[in-house]
Amino acid sequence: LLLYAFWQRAFKSGGFNAGVSDLSAFVTPYDDESVDSYETGFKSEWFDHRLRLNVNAFFAEYSDLQRSAVTPSLSAPSGVVTVVTNAASVESYGLEIEASARITPDFTVFSNVGWNPAKYSEYCKDINGVSASPLPLPGQVACGPAVATTPPGNFIVPTDNSGLHTLRSPEWDTTFGASYDVDLADAGGLTFNTSVNYRSEAWTQLLNLPYSHREPMTIW
């Protein structure tokens, strides 16, 4: 039985928007994206190593996530450019369980269960693009003052997008399976294996547009 706990800090380097045509955006860098990760759990084997059970709980706090955002521009014809900024924070937490049981010397069953309801804890940016009104779109909530752009009459409206689903993060990811070994003596051996994996729904696009919704999927 091994008990453990740890904390770690990691980062993704900052940079600058090399491909943007607006000088102000070009010379304005974005900062590192960072994460503080905490994890605790145990790894264990029981009944003369016939049962393996590993469990861990985790919490990770991502800060200054690098996301695309609409910003004012004095030189772009549209009055705005889309650039990478430090736009959001995410809390990711959950539980992972791994189990494997050798029922007989030749037959083993196994399972892995992962639960991770990751969510934005902060996401205040204009992700809709320039609009002709300083008010947010219906169903959205402003989280900062509207900014006028050029040409006159256009606005960037920061809205609270913390209700969006995080990218490519299904809440459930589970696998169940079994394997059977056949001893062929001097000829070697054969292993027959089957497993089923289930992943809950996920979104693959930042704005959670309908085309990016991936339905729950099961693979055998």
List, for residues 139-198, the tens digit of each pLDDT value: 889 988 888 876 677 888 889 999 999 989 999 999 999 999 999 989 999 999 999 999
pLDDT in the model for residue 98: 98
Residue 198 to residue 157: CA distance in whole angstroms: 39
Residue 119 to residue 24: CA distance in whole angstroms: 32
pLDDT in the model for residue 128: 76
Residue 11 to residue 39: CA distance in whole angstroms: 17
Could you tell me if 156 and 132 are in contact, meaning their C-beta atoms sit under 8 angstroms apart? no
Q: What is the pLDDT of residues 27-58, one digit of tens each?
A: 888 999 999 999 999 999 999 999 999 999 99
State mean pLDDT over 90-109: 97
Q: What is the pLDDT of residues 181-192, one digit of tens each?
A: 999 989 999 999
Whole-number mean pLDDT of the chain?
91
pTM of the entire predicted model = 0.81
